Amino acid sequence: MKRNLIGGEWVEGASVRLNINPSDIDEVVGEYAQADASQTLDAIGAARHAQRSWATSGIQARANALEQIGSELLARQQDLGALLSREEGKTLAEGVAEVARAGQIFRFFAGEALRSGGEKLPSVRAQVDVEITREPVGVVGIITPWNFPMAIPAWKIAPALAYGNSVVFKPADLVPGSAWALADIISRSGIPAGVFNLVMGRGSIVGNEIVNSADIRALSFTGSVGTGRHLAQMAAMNFKKIQLEMGGKNPLVILDDADLDIAVDCAIQGAFYSTGQRCTASSRFIVQKGIYERFVERVAEGVRSLSVGHALESTTQIGPVVDGDQLDADLQYIEIGKQEGAKLVCGGELLERRTRGHFLAPAFFADASGEMRIAREEIFGPVACAVPVGTYEEALEVANDSEFGLSAGICTTSLKYATHFKRHMQCGMAMVNVPTAGVDYHVPFGGTKGSSYGSREQGRYAVEFFTTVKTAYTQA
């Protein structure tokens, strides 16, 4: 049984949770300890105790630890990628790539630890100097979802540690394996006991203690809108800094002048890879009438040819849905789409494979309208719809008519429309002729409207959330 890491000790849980493989529900990936409220408080206490020494340990020590974590992740990308794919269900290639990305993120922030800086300015008073420096926030709580079990924890934990904070990390219930493997690597990186703590367990118990603790000074969360809204309200009670990454209903606009091959590729990759379980997935294609028929036909052809199966089989392109609840939700939306009058062009049925898994044929709807629920609500599965429109202006209006604003794409060969789209699309990430999902690790990630709250994650912009600014005045 894999245990929690609290104050540098591997601690038995109050209960145990089985980690089940969604490609083969008869396979138990492992048994994982579940922390209770009092163990969570222990972890917070240990993190508070250890934080000052980490903050004053020097940037070289922090860079060395992060470099070591990153290097081990990169060296072990095959075996850890396989573990990730077994517990989450994305294909082995996707699992390996995600672990490699986590490694790159740690190495990036190893460098950032060394590049911390400040400003020295003259004061308006002649004898006085002003210095502006960045300091750690203190103890950071990190709560993550199941869909990127390595990369999302990495892009929160790495900057937290790089800038001298200590961490209490609660992964999603469905994917403790990747979280434990990451904690194991971090525990051997030379960081002092208590600086990094792993508390696997329920959101309503472990997560609740994290958000309510006055000792946690900042909380970085990725997950659903409902939980995010709740956490923001609770965090306000003790003035915690908060950073939320939530849902998306990302549009991909296809104009008449698009390169059809590129558009089809962006649509299929963006909507269905990783089983559509990405907050940046494009789940609505907004397509100009002149190219609409050809686009729908080519996407349908592509979707039909996708091979759905066990995540670890080399021919698999689309792995299973993560669990039974998510599968039920996906199937329900497919029913809703049919009842709303959209045309189910292909997919949407359960598939039988050699093993018992949550296999769903990717579902592609045509002739949807921007008003339909399948075009407005985040489904978080391999389900996408095409909405026909007349003009670019109409496409932009439909694209912007959403409570979300994470990622948005356009396929066009027109510089004029591409430029206009980048300026006027309400989103955090705008994509021209590339899929809405699949982002770089060294640049900011985040959205507008109901998708994100707080400052940006990743790249150099992460410093904003994981530090606080001090202004010092000195009279010589």
Query: In this complex, which beta carbon is closest to ligand ADP, that of residue 223 or of residue 459?
Result: 223
Query: In this complex, which beta carbon is closest to ligand ADP, that of residue 194 or of residue 207?
Result: 207
| 224 counts as binding ligand ADP under rule CB under 6 A | yes
Which part of the chain contacts ligand ADP (CB under 6 A), choosing from 18-26, 223-231, 303-311, 388-396? Answer: 223-231
Nearest-5° Cα angle at 439, 367 to 463: 130
Minimal distance, residue 172 CB to ligand ADP, in Å? 4
| Residues 166 to 205 in contact with ligand ADP, rule: CB under 6 A | 170, 172-173, 203-204
Which part of the chain contacts ligand ADP (CB under 6 A), choosing from 116-124, 221-229, 388-396, 432-440? Answer: 221-229
| 208 counts as binding ligand ADP under rule CB under 6 A | yes
What amino acid occupies position 98? Answer: E
Minimal distance, residue 95 CB to ligand ADP, in Å? 18
Q: Which residues contact 376 (CB under 8 A, 6 or more apart)?
A: 249, 370, 402, 403
Catalytic member of 266, 279, 346, 385? 279
Q: Which of 143, 253, 299, 342 binds ligand ADP (CB under 6 A)?
A: 143
| 296 counts as binding ligand ADP under rule CB under 6 A | no
Size of the site for ligand ADP (CB under 6 A): 17
Tokens at 363, concatenated: 């579902």
Minimal distance, residue 171 CB to ligand ADP, in Å? 6
| 141 counts as binding ligand ADP under rule CB under 6 A | no
Minimal distance, residue 218 CB to ligand ADP, in Å? 15
Query: In this complex, which beta carbon is closest to ligand ADP, that of residue 108 or of residue 148?
Result: 148
Catalytic member of 112, 245, 378, 457? 245
| 377 counts as binding ligand ADP under rule CB under 6 A | no
Q: Which of 227, 280, 316, 402 binds ligand ADP (CB under 6 A)?
A: 227
Query: In this complex, which beta carbon is closest to ligand ADP, that of residue 234 or of residue 300?
Result: 234
Minimal distance, residue 150 CB to ligand ADP, in Å? 14
Minimal distance, residue 273 CB to ligand ADP, in Å? 18
Q: Which of 47, 186, 199, 211 binds ligand ADP (CB under 6 A)?
A: 211
Which part of the chain contacts ligand ADP (CB under 6 A), choosing from 143-151, 391-399, 447-455, 467-475? Answer: 143-151
Query: In this complex, which beta carbon is closest to ligand ADP, that of residue 66 or of residue 150?
Result: 150
- The reply to whether 131 belongs to the active site is no
Query: In this complex, which beta carbon is closest to ligand ADP, that of residue 229 or of residue 338?
Result: 229
Minimal distance, residue 425 CB to ligand ADP, in Å? 25
Query: In this complex, which beta carbon is closest to ligand ADP, that of residue 237 or of residue 469?
Result: 237
Minimal distance, residue 40 CB to ligand ADP, in Å? 11
Q: Cβ–Cβ contacts within 10 Å for residue 351, how many?
A: 14
Q: Which residues contact 193 (CB under 8 A, 6 or more apart)?
A: 7, 8, 9, 46, 50
DSSP β-bridge partners for residue 366: 343
Query: In this complex, which beta carbon is closest to ligand ADP, that of residue 219 or of residue 429?
Result: 219
Query: In this complex, which beta carbon is closest to ligand ADP, that of residue 146 or of residue 285?
Result: 146
| 145 counts as binding ligand ADP under rule CB under 6 A | yes
- The reply to whether 397 belongs to the active site is no
Please give the biggest Cα pair distance in the chain: 79
Minimal distance, residue 170 CB to ligand ADP, in Å? 6
- Which residue, 111, 105, 103, is CA-closest to 59? 111
Question: Residues in the site for ligand ADP, rule: CB under 6 A?
Answer: 143-146, 170, 172-173, 203-204, 207-208, 211, 223-224, 227, 230-231
Which residues are identified as catalytic? 245, 279
